[in-house]
Structure 1
């Protein structure tokens, strides 16, 4: 079977073969990472007796814990990726995630889940290293389309994951979902081991560069810093509702019906549109410049988050979440395409690891802010907070992208 698959790839260039393989890898990683995410607060509730505020706190802390660890270790993994190769990092990430997620199905206390989530953060990074590998092998003229296409793999997995998770949880309970996820990540490991090809030539001197020297190497420090901040704030806005999402759906449904399935649909809704729209917006950005796609996505997300705060039923929430998929399709691939064009090959791993750190910091801060706002002011106000952060992101966009037209559209 493996030989047959390899033969099918024989007529394509390396970057084209890698795109196919890494798309499936990020797709499976997206499924593995999102199977349990919408129901994590409900799972925590089975591990002890908690008040509403305690449950919101534990949900926020456990959901965010792996991101803070990932933010710290990502630059270290990025340095190693530039010195040893990105494929090694793909294997490291998928193997580590397989083991830690599998073990989550055996926890009996909230603190054990917290510890494993932190350990998960230390091993994560499959998607970011996939992006870095593709950035170093893809022709610059194709970077927008390729990055957008690769993004659809992760988004597609995250789209199906919560829905599959909702069905599985309803049939067999929470714990088997972690075991299934662990098996999926093990499959990702073997997929990367046998099919990903990297013609890597280590540049030892570059591998020892510090952060200051890395930013000196890029085409524009201002643009790169702006993109990293854009990533962080976007994650804050997107992740703020996640730790209490299932509780919010439960509230909107008045504690009746298949709450876990509807929570999965709500969680997955943005991915439906992103999956369809991202490649088209990426290709459009290659022609007119990513700056315009990025700016439009930010403005649209601000308007949708404001509209989302008026949700009174789960179907309205699903509709507005679908619209968020449009802004995600514009923002995230645009940032990755810009970084791919700004970073020389010798430091690409580091630049994308910094973007992973920014993403992780946002994903750490967002759930804490969201769960705090929800506990103090109610669920709807979480979206107003998200809209305020998007305004901050628009200010960042205006001040850090002045030179982006000539850099991207050239």
Structure 2
């Protein structure tokens, strides 16, 4: 019997692994760069809070009521336009690459911040804030890149770490905005922010590495896009509603915090300081817990952590309605921040695990839009309920919403059946 002398061909499992299951060789470096870029862009978006009314007045608005109105419009303009274009940037990221979208966002934000520093009237300020939202989206783009380029078994921790950087930007931004203008002036504060974001642009362009997806062979059927590519849409829709609920719960308390604290603090001089501590406590708690809860979710399941976080947050809202001292509210908001910190990374992980990689950016973009919707609806709802039914009703009403969200997520989670597998 003649033996074949043709050498056998060894097949490298890594070479045949589908791209959506291949871990990025550079995912840790990508994470560091994305954390820096997300932190700096969020700081730039929020640093104008302390001095925005002063800048509006410098731009020619003199009436006090008009200053307040224009300040609100200018601040909200960025988030409004960002919510509109988040799915578009996510879709383009799926088509042309996530790194390219980060380069676009960082360069666009650097340019927009510099232009805001050169505004000559309030209309230009509002228009440029809209432009910043349209061109920006670095933080949401980072979520897409990290979600798709990180090993699935580490995605919860990685997204949690990135979320900590984003929330730190929200916390540090107003502090920077309070410190820099007295030192270098308002306009140079914007120029400095633009310069730091330009550094993030350079880091993104030269340090981030995105694994290329192989080209679709000629003659093969065109893959379905958008919602048509998703088999079971229930987990994705559940995460959209959960993200909106999270932001609504966070922001519904914001309009009444200062008024509520005034009822708890005897000395009126200390009201604003305690109100600031209350707002910062929740953000600090989320910063500390996001990565840890993300790592826990990688071990015990993202649905379990989401349900637990919502339930614990609902319980913590009850005593907040009945506190009689400012320090009690600070402590409870810190604990609530610890509980809520794990939600954003888990929401992104569940979406990523339940959609094909080809549409992950678009689906995560819709998630960002849903969260922005919650950010807009929360203060409106909280202000309405607080004004008509009292402060306690805001806490108790939000408690009911979070409890419903926890129960719904418990029912909506996918069954642990071997036949049911996650796509992407």
Higher relative contact order (CA 8 A, sep 6+): 1
Contact 1:23 1:154 (8 Å CA) reproduced: yes
Report the alpha carbon displacement of residue 18 of structure 1 after superposing the two structures with TM. Answer: 0.9
**1:23 maps onto 2:28 in alignment:** no
What residue in structure 2 maps to residue 124 of structure 1?
136
Secondary structure of the 2:212 match is coil
Report the alpha carbon displacement of residue 227 of structure 1 after superposing the two structures with TM. Answer: 0.5
For the residues of structure 2 that align with 1:39 and 1:240, how far apart are their CA atoms?
Answer: 23
What residue in structure 2 maps to residue 79 of structure 1?
91
What residue in structure 2 maps to residue 344 of structure 1?
356
Give per-residue Cα distances to partners, 1:80-103, cap 9 Å, x unaligned. 111111111112222222233444
What residue in structure 2 maps to residue 256 of structure 1?
269
**1:188 maps onto 2:200 in alignment:** yes
Residues 397 and 341 (structure 1), Cα distance of their counterparts in 2 relative to 1, 3 Å cut: same
Report the alpha carbon displacement of residue 74 of structure 1 after superposing the two structures with TM. Answer: 1.4
Match runs of 1:37-186 below 5 Å: 37=49, 47-51=61-65, 61-105=73-117, 112-168=124-180, 177-186=189-198
For the residues of structure 2 that align with 1:112 and 1:225, how far apart are their CA atoms?
Answer: 37
Report the alpha carbon displacement of residue 273 of structure 1 after superposing the two structures with TM. Answer: 2.2
Contact 2:99 2:210 (8 Å CA) reproduced: yes
Contact 2:354 2:422 (8 Å CA) reproduced: no
Report the alpha carbon displacement of residue 287 of structure 1 after superposing the two structures with TM. Answer: 1.4
- Give the aligned length: 393
Give per-residue Cα distances to partners, 1:147-189, cap 9 Å, x unaligned. 1122222123333333333344676676654444333322222
Deviates more, 1:399-408 or 1:278-287: 399-408
Report the alpha carbon displacement of residue 265 of structure 1 after superposing the two structures with TM. Answer: 4.2
Bigger radius of gyration among the two? 2
Residues 307 and 95 (structure 1), Cα distance of their counterparts in 2 relative to 1, 3 Å cut: farther
Deviates more, 1:85-94 or 1:379-388: 379-388
Report the alpha carbon displacement of residue 223 of structure 1 after superposing the two structures with TM. Answer: 0.4
Instruction: Give the gaps of 5 or more residues in structure 1.
Output: 1-11
Report the alpha carbon displacement of residue 374 of structure 1 after superposing the two structures with TM. Answer: 5.3
Residues 306 and 393 (structure 1), Cα distance of their counterparts in 2 relative to 1, 3 Å cut: same
Query: Which of 207, 214, 233 is 2:245 aligned to?
Result: 233
TM-score (normalizing by structure 2): 0.77
Secondary structure of the 2:269 match is coil
Deviates more, 1:287-296 or 1:171-180: 171-180
For the residues of structure 1 that align with 2:268 and 2:118, how far apart are their CA atoms?
Answer: 28
What residue in structure 2 maps to residue 201 of structure 1?
213
Contact 1:38 1:264 (8 Å CA) reproduced: no
Instruction: Give the gaps of 5 or more residues in structure 2.
Output: 1-23
Residues 309 and 182 (structure 1), Cα distance of their counterparts in 2 relative to 1, 3 Å cut: farther
What residue in structure 1 maps to residue 13 of structure 2?
none
What residue in structure 2 maps to residue 7 of structure 1?
none
Give per-residue Cα distances to partners, 1:11-42, cap 9 Å, x unaligned. x9311221222122223233333323467578
**1:291 maps onto 2:327 in alignment:** no
For the residues of structure 1 that align with 2:330 and 2:249, how far apart are their CA atoms?
Answer: 17
Secondary structure of the 1:256 match is helix
What residue in structure 2 maps to residue 36 of structure 1?
48
Match runs of 1:344-383 below 5 Å: 344-373=356-385, 382-383=394-395
Report the alpha carbon displacement of residue 222 of structure 1 after superposing the two structures with TM. Answer: 0.4
Residues 230 and 57 (structure 1), Cα distance of their counterparts in 2 relative to 1, 3 Å cut: farther
For the residues of structure 2 that align with 1:312 and 1:181, how far apart are their CA atoms?
Answer: 40
**1:224 maps onto 2:210 in alignment:** no
What residue in structure 1 maps to residue 413 of structure 2?
401
**1:387 maps onto 2:399 in alignment:** yes
For the residues of structure 1 that align with 2:258 and 2:87, how far apart are their CA atoms?
Answer: 33
Give per-residue Cα distances to partners, 1:303-347, cap 9 Å, x unaligned. 333433446665444323212221222211111111221122211
Task: Name the structure with the higher helix share.
Answer: 1
Contact 1:64 1:367 (8 Å CA) reproduced: no
**1:272 maps onto 2:268 in alignment:** no
